[in-house]
Chain A
Amino acid sequence: MAFEYPETLKYLDSHEYARADEDEGMVTVGITAFAIDQLGDIVFLELPEIGDSLEKGEKFGTVESVKAVEELKSPVSGEVLERNEALIEAPEQIGDDPYGDGWLVKIKASDLEELDDTLTADEYKDQVGG
Chain B
Amino acid sequence: MTLLQTPLYSACVEQKARMTEFAGWSMPVQFGGIKQEHQAVRDRAGLFDISHMGKFELRGPGVIAALQRLVPSNLERLKQGEAQYTVLLNPEGGIIDDLIVYLKSPPASATTNARLSDIETVTLIVNAATTDKDKTWLLDHLADTGIELVDESRDRALISIQGPAAAALLQPHTPHNLDVLGRFAHRDTALLGQLAWIARTGYTGEDGFEIMTDPDTALALWQMLTAEGVMPCGLGARDTLRLEAAMALYGQDIDDTTSPLESGLSWLVHLDEKGDFIGRSPLETQKAQGVSRRLVGLVMEGRHIARHGYPVLHQGDRVGTVTSGTLAPTLNLPIALAYVAAPLAKVGQPLEVEVRGEPRAARVVKRPFYRAK
Residues on A facing B (Cβ under 8 Å): 40-41, 43-44, 46, 62, 64-67, 69
Tell me whether A66 and B35 are in contact in the complex, defined as CB-CB below 8 angstroms, given that A40-B30, A40-B236, A44-B327 are known contacts. Answer: yes
Tell me whether A40 and B304 are in contact in the complex, defined as CB-CB below 8 angstroms, given that A66-B236, A66-B240 are known contacts. Answer: no
Please name the 10 residue pairs, one residue from A and one from B, whose CB atoms are nearest each other, closest first. A43-B327, A41-B35, A66-B34, A41-B34, A41-B33, A64-B305, A67-B236, A40-B34, A44-B305, A66-B326
- For A45, give the chain B residue with the smallest CB separation: B303
- For A43, give the chain B residue with the smallest CB separation: B327
- For A68, give the chain B residue with the smallest CB separation: B307
Tell me whether A43 and B305 are in contact in the complex, defined as CB-CB below 8 angstroms, given that A62-B356, A66-B240, A67-B236 are known contacts. Answer: yes
A43 to B304, CA, bound (A): 10
A46 surroundings in chain B (CB, below 8 A): 304, 356
Q: Does B329 contact A (CB under 8 A)?
A: yes
Chain A interface mostly helix, strand, loop or mixed?
A: strand
- For A62, give the chain B residue with the smallest CB separation: B356
Excluding A66-B236, A66-B327, A67-B29, 10 further A-B contacts by CB distance (< 8 Å) are A41-B33, A43-B305, A62-B356, A64-B305, A64-B327, A66-B35, A66-B240, A66-B329, A67-B34, A69-B307
Give the residues from 31 to 47 in chain B that come closer than 8 angstroms, CB to CB, to chain A. 33-35
A67 to B326, CA, bound (A): 7
- For B328, give the chain A residue with the smallest CB separation: A66
In whole Å, how far is B15's beta carbon from the nearest beta carbon of chain A? 14
In whole Å, how far is A66's beta carbon from the nearest beta carbon of chain B? 5
Among A43, A62, A65, A66, max chain B CB count under 10 A is at A66
A46 to B360, CA, bound (A): 13
B30 surroundings in chain A (CB, below 8 A): 40
B240 surroundings in chain A (CB, below 8 A): 66
In whole Å, how far is B100's beta carbon from the nearest beta carbon of chain A? 26
Q: List 23 A-B contacts (CB under 8 A).
A: A40-B30, A40-B33, A40-B236, A41-B33, A41-B34, A41-B35, A41-B329, A43-B305, A44-B304, A44-B305, A44-B327, A44-B334, A46-B356, A62-B356, A65-B34, A66-B35, A66-B236, A66-B240, A66-B326, A66-B327, A67-B236, A67-B239, A67-B326
Assess whether A44 is in contact with B33, with CB atoms less than 8 Å apart.
no
- For A89, give the chain B residue with the smallest CB separation: B303
A64 to B34, CA, bound (A): 13
B329 surroundings in chain A (CB, below 8 A): 41, 66
A69 to B33, CA, bound (A): 17
In whole Å, how far is B89's beta carbon from the nearest beta carbon of chain A? 31
A46 to B35, CA, bound (A): 20
In whole Å, how far is A30's beta carbon from the nearest beta carbon of chain B? 20
- For B327, give the chain A residue with the smallest CB separation: A43
B304 surroundings in chain A (CB, below 8 A): 44, 46
A65 surroundings in chain B (CB, below 8 A): 34
